[in-house]
Amino acid sequence: QVQLQESGPGLVKPSETLSLTCAVSRYSINSGYYWGWIRQPPGKGLEWIGSLYHSGSTYYNPSFKSRITISVDTSKNQFSLKLSSVIAADTAVYYCARVISSGDPGMGSFDFWGQGTLVTVSS
């Protein structure tokens, strides 16, 4: 089965950039599928951040405006999230997941998820 594992700093200072990586195993990112990031503030619901394809095509949630960058490193079979100018409200568990495409680029449901990593924004 496909496995995903998030990694990155658990603490980020306000106004700095949050950087996370999702390592994919038992499946080659180059083989297809879209890959996505979703976050969940403590005790709250789920929010889609964005998705990408192995070609590098990206699809972002407009609510993040120009703060996010999602990229892929196919040589390492991983993809990354950068969220700039973070504030306390960006504190959340961040998940990476595989997207079952609905046919529209970047859109779909999520069948395999990482365990998630808690990122706290605090000085």
Partner 1 sequence: DIVMTQSPDSLAVSLGERATINCKSSQTVLYSSNNKNYLAWYQQKPGQPPKLLIYWASSRESGVPDRFSGSGSGTDFTLTISSLQAEDVAVYYCQQYYTGPLTFGGGTKVEIK
**Interface residue list for partner 1 (CB under 8 A):** 45-48, 51, 59, 61-63, 95, 97, 100, 102, 104, 106-111, 113-116
Q: Which is nearer to partner 1, 15 or 109 (CB)?
A: 109
- Tokens representing 95 are 């998940």
Residue 46 CB, shortest distance to partner 1, in Å, is 4
Supply 103's token pair. Answer: 């046919």
CB of 39 to partner 1, least distance (A): 11
> Residue 51 or 78: which CB sits closer to partner 1?
51
Q: Which is nearer to partner 1, 16 or 113 (CB)?
A: 113
CB of residue 37 to partner 1, shortest distance in Å:
11
Nearer to partner 1, 83 or 106 (CB): 106
Contacts 24+ apart (CB under 8 A), 23-32: 23/76, 23/77, 23/78, 24/77, 24/78, 24/79, 24/98, 25/77, 26/1, 26/2, 27/2, 27/98, 28/77, 29/54, 29/72, 29/74, 29/77, 29/78, 29/79, 30/54, 30/74
* Closest separation in Å from C-beta 61 to partner 1: 4
Distance of CA 123 to the CA centre of its chain: 23
